[in-house]
Amino acid sequence: MLAACEYVRYLEASQSADRAYWCKLAYQMAYPVLSNMSKGELQKNMLVEVSPNWDGRDKRVTYMETFGRLMAGIAPWLTLPDDDTEEGKMRKELREMALKSYANAVDPQSPDYLLWRGHGQALVDAAYIAESFLRAYEQLWLPLDETTKKRYVEEFQQLRRVDPPYTNWLLFSSTIESFLAKAGASFDEYRVNSAIRKVEEWYTGDGWYADGPSFAFDYYSSYVFHPMYLETLQAMKDAKVYTRIAYGKYYDRALKRAQKFSLILERFISPEGTFPVFGRSIPYRMATMQPLALMAWYQELPAGVTNAQVRCALTAVMKRMFASGHNFNEGGFLTIGFTGRQPNVADWYTNNGSLYMTSLSFLPLGLPASHPFWTDAPQEWTSVRAWGEKPFPKDHHWKDEIRTWDLF
């Protein structure tokens, strides 16, 4: 009996340690950004890095990339209520700094007013800011003062000047416009519905989207397609907008595709806590796992994939990737690389603000510490079982089962 009790205590400690590790890593990533930006000092103090083959654009795009992508990742965590735990104090501190940072981001008199105008990249990172509002609407959007809200609406609407290429960029437009719809502001229905129609054309099957007319074998189904497509559709549902698109049916179908893709991502994670490195934008690090994290946060993991195995698999990847401590530069900001400093893997558009995409793996922190994702006993993930000569579920082809007739 004593041995059994000790084992239970060991398991409980292990589960608690997983969440504590995630929180510590998220805080380490967020604090240098928000502590500076809340005081209007991010642009003064951030140690900026750009790709060796940087295309020459204004380096100030770095700050919007940093803020928008970070907030999209930690927003679910900041939705949890305040408490007196160590985690609760971290969360409250970050939320308070985030709200001040949101105000500075659109205040023309602030030294940290972001580069909203004069370039096309703003569309991309404004979409991540809009996504953060969608992920924590009551905690991060509603508390903003009316002047700040008005400024965001104006900044979002003026981005209609950007003509997005026929790639994942269409979803940046639809995310912004669907947020405006949810917020009760004037929105462009065409930018939403045309994005939806193109995404449907680009679905290749088994959870994969092509990034435009031709398929590219990369992780953009993770970085953009699954999350922003679902969030566009959900926001339009929330806004109770009625058009030729049946947003509810589209959402249900897109959710099934995201579940299939999350199943693939879980199987990508090796017994050693690694995953395949391919495609562009690989310095986004753990953003590759965003759909898996999203399905866990939504409590919509596919059959055969459990909370515990996802927690254990993602924790293993985080520890493998961040254990060395070399992913941060001397200023405490993320450095260009995949594991550690590897500037040669950067693309021409990469700066170290781009890398805050990795925070998108933190979405399950939006589940309370009492949720089974955090409390269930540790469990081996699929590749551990497969390579350990243990039973594991076989994979199979998934077909769309939900049909819509409003595409034409």
- What pLDDT shows up at residue 9? 46
Q: What is the pLDDT along the chain (408 residues), one digit of tens a residue?
A: 544 444 344 445 566 899 999 999 999 999 999 999 999 999 999 999 999 999 999 999 999 999 999 999 999 999 999 999 999 999 999 999 999 999 999 999 999 999 999 999 999 999 999 999 999 999 999 999 999 999 999 999 999 999 999 999 999 999 999 999 999 999 999 999 999 999 999 999 999 999 999 999 999 999 999 999 999 999 999 999 999 999 999 999 999 999 999 999 999 999 999 999 999 999 999 999 999 999 999 999 999 999 999 999 999 999 999 999 999 999 999 999 999 999 999 999 999 999 999 999 999 999 999 999 999 999 999 999 999 999 999 999 999 988 887 654
Q: pTM of the full predicted structure?
A: 0.95
Sign of CA dihedral 379, 381, 383, 389: positive
Give residue 8's pLDDT. 43
DSSP 48-72: --B-TT-----TTHHHHHHHHHHHH
* Phi and psi at residue 197, to the nearest 5°: -65, -40
How many Å is the maximal CA-CA distance in the chain? 69
Q: SS3 string of 194-263?
A: HHHHHHHHCEEECCEECCCCCCCCCCHHHHHHHHHHHHHHHHHHHCCCCCCCCHHHHHHHHHHHHHHHHH
Closest CA to 274 of 337, 320, 220, 308: 320
One-letter amino acid at 297 equals W
* Radius of gyration of the chain from its Cα atoms, rounded to whole angstroms: 21
d(C-alpha 63, C-alpha 351), whole Å: 10
Domains of the chain (ranges, CATH numbers) = 13-387 (1.50.10)
pLDDT of res. 406: 66
Q: Are 89 and 81 in contact (CB under 8 A)?
A: no
Pick from 237, 256, 257, 235: nearest CA to 248: 237
Tell me the residue length of the chain: 408
The one-letter amino acid code at 51 reads: S
The predicted pLDDT at position 12 comes to 53
CB 232 within 8 A of CB 175: yes
115 Cβ neighbours under 8 A, 6+ residues apart:
58, 60, 61, 63, 64, 122
Residue pair 136/181 in contact by the 8 Å Cβ criterion: no
- Which SS3 state, helix, strand or coil, does residue 36 take? helix
Pairwise CA distance, residues 355 & 349, whole Å: 11
CB 297 within 8 A of CB 363: yes
pLDDT on residue 7: 39
